[in-house]
Structure 1
Amino acid sequence: MSCNGCRVLRKGCSEDCMLRDCLTWIQNPQAQANATVFVTKFFGRATLMSFLSPVHPNQRSCLFQSLMYEAVGRTINPVNGAVGLLWTGKWQFCQLGVEQVLRGNGGALTALPDQLLGVDHDSSSIHHQ
């Protein structure tokens, strides 16, 4: 039987499926499908598989989770991503974004306004003389 990742990507699933290992941290089958679609749309299917293939199977769920947070982070904070959200104390936005994706609302994620992210364009811009 196909795993939820392969099912949603309409890809053949085998006993040694890389996606099956990735989705173990997500309990709900529909949430597994939602996460797979979001991460695959962000990174691309071929790139996702190239990230996963060299990683030991028992570490793939950690990698997939990291990729999920980075994809959400880059969606809502395109310049600095998840690390920028963590650095500025706005990590809760990344967590809320991941929850949105798992519920199937990942398409509604957009970049947050600079004011909300605490970006000050005046102090961060480069002035040439």
Structure 2
Amino acid sequence: MGGNSPCASCKLLRRRCIKDCIFAPYFPSDDPQKFVIVHKIFGASNVSKMLQELPVHQRADAVSSLVYEASARMRDPVYGCVGAISYLQNQVSELQMQLAVAQAEILCVQMNHESLMPPSETDLHHKSYLLQNNLSQIPDFNTPSNVIHHSPSPL
């Protein structure tokens, strides 16, 4: 930032904000809490090193990730982001299960509805066709090719 208003980092650390301050573009003075959290978890020196190692076009995303991880660590010092991800994965699993149950219930209602209605000519033709095609795929166990012969095993 330089000059009149130092960035949140320089303000917190009580230093002069230089023209090419690594923190200035990502930690503006009007949002000091963002830097306070990141500084408390990672330390200003480590954040500075991380940002310097990244290309400029990736730094904003890295800062967003650092802020998110630091906030998660403040809420849950043991698990941090992993705890949040685990919670969300469990929620997705529960919702998928609820969706499967709802879909099964819809299918049951549809089948009950179909059984109450008299079948149309097209339905009968379609069901007959499916039955014939599926029956042709079932092996006939009475034919000699499908009969399994067991020879007595020697004792």
Pairwise TM-score range, normalised by the shorter structure: 0.5 to 0.7
Over 3 Å counting, the alpha-carbon distance change for 1:81 and 1:17 in structure 2 is: same
Unaligned runs of 5+ in 2: 90-155
Shift of 1:89: 1.6
Encode CA deviations 1:20-68: one digit per residue, 9 max, x unaligned. Answer: 12236xxx70xx2111112111111211111111112332221111011
Counterpart amino acid of 2:32?
Answer: A
What is the aligned-residue identity percentage?
A: 31
1:69 is aligned to 2:75 = no
Counterpart amino acid of 2:48?
Answer: M
Structure 2 counterpart of 1:16:
20
Counterpart amino acid of 1:76?
Answer: R
What is the alpha-carbon distance in structure 2 between the residues aligned to residue 12 and residue 56 of structure 1? 24
Unaligned runs of 5+ in 1: 91-129
Larger radius of gyration: 2
CA contact (8 A) 1:39 1:67 kept: yes
Which stretch has the larger CA shift, 3-12 or 35-44? 3-12
RMSD after superposition: 2.2
CA contact (8 A) 2:69 2:80 kept: yes
Aligned residues: 85
Structure 2 counterpart of 1:38:
37
What is the alpha-carbon distance in structure 1 between the residues aligned to residue 63 and residue 13 of structure 2? 16
What is the alpha-carbon distance in structure 2 between the residues aligned to residue 23 and residue 61 of structure 1? 10
What is the alpha-carbon distance in structure 2 between the residues aligned to residue 13 and residue 76 of structure 1? 30
